[in-house]
Amino acid sequence: MELNTKSPAATAVGSDVIAEAPAAPSRRELLGATAGLLLLLLAFDLLGRAVGWVGGNLLAFVAATFLLLPDLIWPAGRTHPSQADRPRREQLQGIALGLALAAVVFAGFVPGYHLWNTRFAERSLAPAVSALRQPANELSLRPTAAAPADLTLERDGRDLLLHWQPTTASALSLQSDGQIERVSGTPLPVTAATGSLKFALRPGEQLALRLRVEGAHALSGTVTPATDLWLGSDDERNATTFTIPYNLRWIPWMILMQVVLVAIPEETFFRGYLQRRFARLWPAAGSKRFFHISAANLASSATFALAHFAIGFHPTRLAVFFPSLLFGRLAEKTGGIAASVTLHVLSNLMMQLVSTQYLP
């Protein structure tokens, strides 16, 4: 996706074409852009942990930061370099290049991903089309009635993670036609005559369950589908129940999210703005490359990795530095971000879809 400008220009950096800004940047501009970005992301992460609605919309805040920050830094009244106008034909060519390269990358990635999961992550391959039927995302997890207080639900691959820590003595009744594993929590479940499980918690106790629904069977004389799970109070006659659907609806939502809230904002900032500005700051470095990787690409990819680390603080998030180098190279070769956006989206989708085929 490319934004428009009234009078685009271009400059040669090495053998590649990169959109040109009206003037070379200062070190102060790029230092402010990188430091400001990391501080904002860190603030959003910490605030998201403390404020529920911020955490629930964290991705939208981050995407807005990537899209708006260059406009705040760039001088007023001038078009910043992420708004490089590319002809529609070149954009389509970029998308086609991203699709072709994705096929090559995936062919080499999948065997390595399998080796990592089976040898190091202690996960087993369990291929099944039904594994794509997962608990829907947050938009579909809303109960038809009020859920028990202090209860949260999260999707983790094929499984559903339930966490409950009531402030008063409470009881929970649960029915499922699939597997239920008690990951942690003090109380042991009591199996009722109806086939449900009951948990009684005292104040301060917590319950964590991992739920997996894979096959239907008769429950209390009635065959219940494998797509449902029920939660309610201890008194089943007056229980407030709700259904958590296992379906494919999460896939189109995930695609939309990856395009609108992930790939386009990230590529607009890191390749469309930051990498082009680094290239203008170091014009002489364009012909001096480390394994065909420009200094501008290295700098923007390092910032890309640190930005991911700022959300979550997990060392594995720094690994995005390596695919970022490929995204940056595509942006340099094509002069736009259509190819890098396409490969970025497909890479993230492939990771999420393939991960459903492995079980802990």
Which domain-ending residue is among 198, 220, 247?
Answer: 247
The total number of structural domains that make up the chain? 2
Residue 317's alpha-carbon distances to 154, 273, 307, 308, 314, in angstroms, are 20, 22, 9, 6, 6
Task: Give residue 46's pLDDT.
Answer: 93
256 and 346 in a common domain? yes
Would residue 56 count as lying in a domain?
Answer: yes
Q: Residue 8: what pLDDT? A: 39
Residues 31 and 102 in one domain: yes
Question: What does the DSSP assignment read for 131-144?
Answer: GG-EE--GGG---S
Which residue matches tokens 């894979």? 214
How many angstroms separate the Cα of 299 from the Cα of each of 72, 146, 195, 302, 323?
A: 21, 49, 58, 5, 14
**Could you tell me if residue 126 is inside a domain?**
no
Q: Are 253 and 227 in a shared domain?
A: no
Asked whether residue 194 is assigned to any structural domain, the reply reads yes
Nearest residue to 94 (alpha-carbon basis) of 330, 338, 349: 338
Q: Are 231 and 163 in a shared domain?
A: yes
Q: How far apart are CA 72 and CA 343, in angstroms?
A: 28
> 268 and 202 share a domain?
no
If asked whether residues 217 and 200 sit together in one domain, one would say yes
Say if 129 falls within a structural domain.
Answer: no
Domain end call among 221, 247, 273? 247
300 lies in which domain range?
10-121+249-359
Question: Considering the entire predicted model, what is its pTM?
Answer: 0.74
Residue 2 lies in a domain: no
Look at residue 114 and tell me if it is in a domain. Answer: yes
CA-to-CA distance for 71 and 82, rounded, in angstroms?
A: 10
* Residues 155 and 102 occupy one common structural domain: no
> 58 and 195 share a domain?
no
Distance, CA of 211 to CA of 244 (rounded, Å) = 11
| pLDDT given at position 65 | 94
* Domain presence at residue 135: no
Residues 14 and 117 in one domain: yes
What is the mean pLDDT of each successive set of 10 residues along the chain, which is 360 residues long? 39 41 75 93 92 87 92 61 66 92 92 91 82 62 61 73 79 66 61 63 80 52 48 53 68 92 95 91 70 90 97 90 95 92 95 84
For helices 27-50 and 58-73, angle between their N-to-C axes, nearest 10 degrees: 160
Separation CA 323–CA 241 (nearest Å): 44
Domain termination site, one of 215, 230, 247: 247
Both 233 and 262 in a single domain? Answer: no
pLDDT for residue 15: 39
Phi, psi values for residue 164, rounded to 5°: -140, 125
Residue 4: inside a domain: no
- Amino acid in position 267: E
Rg (CA), the chain: 25
pLDDT of residue 221: 41
Strand partners, 161: 154, 210
Map residue 252 onto helix, strand or coil: helix
Statement to judge: residues 236 and 287 lie in one domain: no
Give which of 15, 20, 133, 14 is closest to 80, Cα–Cα.
Answer: 20
Quick one: 162 and 185 in the same domain? yes
CATH code of the domain containing 149: 2.60.40
How far apart CA 306 and CA 309 sit, in angstroms, is 5
Q: What is the pLDDT of residue 232?
A: 60
